[in-house]
Amino acid sequence: MSTYSAVVAGHTYNRMMEGRFEIAGNSAAVSGQPGPPPRAILMSGLQGAGKTTLARALEEAGFHRLCPDEAMFRRYGHYGRDFPRGEYKVREAPVLKDIALQLQALLEAGQETVVDHGFWTLEERTQWAATVTEAGGEPVLIYLPVPHEVRWDRIQRRNAHSLVDANSIEFSEEDLLRHAGRFSPPTDDEAHVVYDGHPEHVLAALGRRR
Protein backbone atom coordinates (compact mmCIF):
# COMPACT_ATOMS: atom_id res chain seq x y z
CA MET A 1 0.00 0.00 0.00
CA SER A 2 1.37 3.41 -0.89
CA THR A 3 1.72 6.22 1.63
CA TYR A 4 -1.00 8.15 -0.12
CA SER A 5 -3.58 5.36 -0.05
CA ALA A 6 -2.65 4.54 3.55
CA VAL A 7 -3.68 8.01 4.59
CA VAL A 8 -6.69 8.47 2.39
CA ALA A 9 -9.42 5.90 2.75
CA GLY A 10 -10.97 4.85 -0.55
CA HIS A 11 -9.43 7.81 -2.42
CA THR A 12 -11.85 10.13 -0.62
CA TYR A 13 -9.19 12.82 -0.49
CA ASN A 14 -8.77 12.78 -4.28
CA ARG A 15 -12.46 13.35 -4.84
CA MET A 16 -12.67 16.01 -2.15
CA MET A 17 -9.71 17.99 -3.39
CA GLU A 18 -10.63 17.82 -7.08
CA GLY A 19 -14.24 18.87 -6.62
CA ARG A 20 -13.70 21.60 -4.07
CA PHE A 21 -10.61 23.03 -5.69
CA GLU A 22 -12.55 23.43 -8.92
CA ILE A 23 -15.23 25.44 -7.10
CA ALA A 24 -12.69 27.45 -5.10
CA GLY A 25 -10.62 28.05 -8.22
CA ASN A 26 -13.63 29.57 -9.92
CA SER A 27 -14.16 31.85 -6.93
CA ALA A 28 -10.52 32.90 -7.07
CA ALA A 29 -10.84 33.70 -10.75
CA VAL A 30 -13.86 35.89 -10.05
CA SER A 31 -12.08 37.70 -7.21
CA GLY A 32 -8.93 38.13 -9.25
CA GLN A 33 -6.82 36.19 -6.75
CA PRO A 34 -4.29 33.88 -8.47
CA GLY A 35 -3.62 30.29 -7.53
CA PRO A 36 -5.47 27.81 -5.31
CA PRO A 37 -7.18 29.01 -2.11
CA PRO A 38 -5.45 28.62 1.26
CA ARG A 39 -6.41 25.43 3.07
CA ALA A 40 -7.86 25.23 6.55
CA ILE A 41 -7.32 21.89 8.29
CA LEU A 42 -10.23 20.90 10.54
CA MET A 43 -9.78 17.83 12.71
CA SER A 44 -12.33 15.43 14.13
CA GLY A 45 -11.21 13.37 17.10
CA LEU A 46 -11.58 12.83 20.83
CA GLN A 47 -9.16 13.68 23.61
CA GLY A 48 -5.87 11.82 23.26
CA ALA A 49 -6.35 11.14 19.54
CA GLY A 50 -3.20 13.07 18.57
CA LYS A 51 -4.72 16.31 17.30
CA THR A 52 -2.15 18.64 18.84
CA THR A 53 0.77 16.48 17.69
CA LEU A 54 -0.54 16.61 14.13
CA ALA A 55 -1.38 20.31 14.35
CA ARG A 56 2.13 21.14 15.55
CA ALA A 57 3.63 19.15 12.68
CA LEU A 58 1.51 21.18 10.28
CA GLU A 59 2.59 24.35 12.07
CA GLU A 60 6.26 23.42 11.54
CA ALA A 61 5.46 22.96 7.85
CA GLY A 62 4.06 26.47 7.54
CA PHE A 63 0.44 26.28 8.63
CA HIS A 64 -0.74 28.79 11.24
CA ARG A 65 -2.08 26.88 14.27
CA LEU A 66 -5.16 28.09 16.15
CA CYS A 67 -5.86 26.30 19.44
CA PRO A 68 -9.05 26.99 21.44
CA ASP A 69 -7.73 25.11 24.49
CA GLU A 70 -4.70 27.38 24.66
CA ALA A 71 -6.89 30.46 24.22
CA MET A 72 -9.11 29.19 27.06
CA PHE A 73 -6.08 28.72 29.31
CA ARG A 74 -4.83 32.24 28.59
CA ARG A 75 -8.23 33.78 29.22
CA TYR A 76 -9.56 31.77 32.15
CA GLY A 77 -6.71 29.76 33.64
CA HIS A 78 -6.78 26.10 34.66
CA TYR A 79 -10.00 24.12 34.10
CA GLY A 80 -11.23 22.84 37.47
CA ARG A 81 -8.96 25.08 39.55
CA ASP A 82 -9.48 28.65 38.27
CA PHE A 83 -13.02 28.06 37.05
CA PRO A 84 -15.55 25.25 37.67
CA ARG A 85 -15.47 22.20 35.42
CA GLY A 86 -19.15 22.55 34.59
CA GLU A 87 -18.59 25.97 33.00
CA TYR A 88 -16.26 24.92 30.20
CA LYS A 89 -18.77 24.97 27.34
CA VAL A 90 -20.25 28.32 28.38
CA ARG A 91 -16.82 29.94 28.60
CA GLU A 92 -15.64 28.26 25.42
CA ALA A 93 -18.38 29.77 23.21
CA PRO A 94 -16.90 33.31 22.97
CA VAL A 95 -13.40 31.85 22.56
CA LEU A 96 -14.55 29.81 19.56
CA LYS A 97 -16.14 32.92 18.04
CA ASP A 98 -12.82 34.73 18.37
CA ILE A 99 -10.97 31.76 16.85
CA ALA A 100 -13.39 31.73 13.91
CA LEU A 101 -12.72 35.43 13.28
CA GLN A 102 -8.97 34.84 13.43
CA LEU A 103 -9.35 31.91 11.03
CA GLN A 104 -11.23 34.05 8.53
CA ALA A 105 -8.67 36.84 8.74
CA LEU A 106 -5.79 34.42 8.18
CA LEU A 107 -7.46 32.79 5.18
CA GLU A 108 -8.34 36.15 3.65
CA ALA A 109 -4.63 37.01 3.96
CA GLY A 110 -3.76 33.78 2.13
CA GLN A 111 -2.37 31.95 5.19
CA GLU A 112 -2.98 28.20 5.38
CA THR A 113 -4.24 27.31 8.84
CA VAL A 114 -4.95 24.35 11.11
CA VAL A 115 -7.56 24.50 13.88
CA ASP A 116 -6.38 22.37 16.81
CA HIS A 117 -9.85 21.31 17.96
CA GLY A 118 -11.97 18.16 17.96
CA PHE A 119 -15.15 19.05 16.01
CA TRP A 120 -17.24 16.22 17.41
CA THR A 121 -20.46 16.69 15.44
CA LEU A 122 -21.55 17.06 11.83
CA GLU A 123 -23.20 20.37 12.75
CA GLU A 124 -19.90 21.80 14.05
CA ARG A 125 -17.94 20.55 11.06
CA THR A 126 -20.47 21.95 8.61
CA GLN A 127 -20.51 25.33 10.36
CA TRP A 128 -16.73 25.64 10.40
CA ALA A 129 -16.37 24.45 6.82
CA ALA A 130 -18.78 27.22 5.84
CA THR A 131 -16.68 29.73 7.80
CA VAL A 132 -13.65 28.60 5.80
CA THR A 133 -15.29 28.79 2.39
CA GLU A 134 -16.84 32.18 3.15
CA ALA A 135 -13.32 33.49 3.77
CA GLY A 136 -12.15 32.10 0.44
CA GLY A 137 -10.42 29.08 1.93
CA GLU A 138 -10.51 25.34 1.26
CA PRO A 139 -11.65 23.16 4.19
CA VAL A 140 -9.86 19.83 4.61
CA LEU A 141 -11.29 17.50 7.27
CA ILE A 142 -8.98 14.99 8.97
CA TYR A 143 -10.47 12.21 11.10
CA LEU A 144 -8.32 10.76 13.90
CA PRO A 145 -9.74 7.36 14.94
CA VAL A 146 -7.89 6.02 18.00
CA PRO A 147 -9.05 3.19 20.34
CA HIS A 148 -10.18 4.11 23.84
CA GLU A 149 -7.35 2.15 25.50
CA VAL A 150 -4.69 4.11 23.61
CA ARG A 151 -6.35 7.44 24.32
CA TRP A 152 -6.78 6.66 28.02
CA ASP A 153 -3.12 5.68 28.31
CA ARG A 154 -2.12 9.02 26.78
CA ILE A 155 -4.55 10.97 28.95
CA GLN A 156 -3.27 9.38 32.15
CA ARG A 157 0.24 10.58 31.30
CA ARG A 158 -1.05 14.01 30.28
CA ASN A 159 -3.03 14.48 33.50
CA ALA A 160 0.22 14.97 35.43
CA HIS A 161 0.80 18.23 33.51
CA SER A 162 -2.73 19.61 33.66
CA LEU A 163 -1.88 22.53 35.98
CA VAL A 164 0.74 23.99 33.64
CA ASP A 165 -0.07 22.74 30.13
CA ALA A 166 -3.10 24.14 28.31
CA ASN A 167 -3.18 21.04 26.10
CA SER A 168 -3.28 18.64 29.06
CA ILE A 169 -6.74 19.19 30.51
CA GLU A 170 -7.38 16.59 33.20
CA PHE A 171 -9.94 13.88 32.42
CA SER A 172 -11.00 10.68 34.13
CA GLU A 173 -11.68 7.48 32.22
CA GLU A 174 -15.37 8.02 32.98
CA ASP A 175 -15.11 11.41 31.25
CA LEU A 176 -13.60 9.81 28.15
CA LEU A 177 -16.28 7.15 27.95
CA ARG A 178 -19.04 9.72 28.37
CA HIS A 179 -17.56 12.00 25.72
CA ALA A 180 -17.18 9.09 23.29
CA GLY A 181 -20.94 8.66 23.48
CA ARG A 182 -21.37 12.25 22.25
CA PHE A 183 -18.88 11.95 19.41
CA SER A 184 -20.16 11.54 15.84
CA PRO A 185 -17.26 10.58 13.56
CA PRO A 186 -17.32 11.60 9.90
CA THR A 187 -19.25 9.22 7.67
CA ASP A 188 -18.67 8.34 4.04
CA ASP A 189 -20.95 11.25 3.16
CA GLU A 190 -18.37 13.69 4.58
CA ALA A 191 -15.22 14.00 2.50
CA HIS A 192 -12.32 13.46 4.88
CA VAL A 193 -8.78 12.21 5.33
CA VAL A 194 -8.29 9.29 7.74
CA TYR A 195 -5.21 9.90 9.87
CA ASP A 196 -2.98 6.85 10.33
CA GLY A 197 -0.92 8.28 13.20
CA HIS A 198 1.95 9.52 11.02
CA PRO A 199 2.05 13.31 10.51
CA GLU A 200 4.50 12.92 7.63
CA HIS A 201 1.86 11.05 5.63
CA VAL A 202 -0.59 13.92 6.00
CA LEU A 203 2.15 16.41 5.08
CA ALA A 204 2.97 14.38 1.97
CA ALA A 205 -0.70 14.24 0.96
CA LEU A 206 -0.91 18.01 1.41
CA GLY A 207 2.29 18.57 -0.53
CA ARG A 208 4.20 19.86 2.50
CA ARG A 209 7.41 18.91 4.29
CA ARG A 210 8.64 19.78 7.78
pLDDT digits (tens, 9 = 90+) for 68-87: 989 988 888 877 777 777 78
Would the pLDDT of 29 be above 80? no
Cα(170)–Cα(150) distance, integer angstroms: 16
- pLDDT on residue 34: 66
Cα(23)–Cα(76) distance, integer angstroms: 40
- pLDDT on residue 135: 98
- pLDDT on residue 48: 94
**19-23, 37-41, 49-53, 103-107, range with the lowest pLDDT:** 19-23
**76-85, 97-106, 122-131, 160-169, range with the lowest pLDDT:** 160-169
Instruction: List, for residues 150-203, the tens digit of each pLDDT value.
Output: 999 999 988 777 665 666 677 889 999 999 999 999 999 999 999 999 999 999
Would the pLDDT of 61 be above 50? yes
Q: In what order do the strands lie in the sheet with 113-115?
A: 64-66, 113-115, 39-44, 138-143, 193-194
Assess contact for 188 and 135: CB atoms under 8 A. no
Q: Does domain 3-205 have CATH number 3.40.50.300?
A: yes
- pLDDT on residue 8: 38
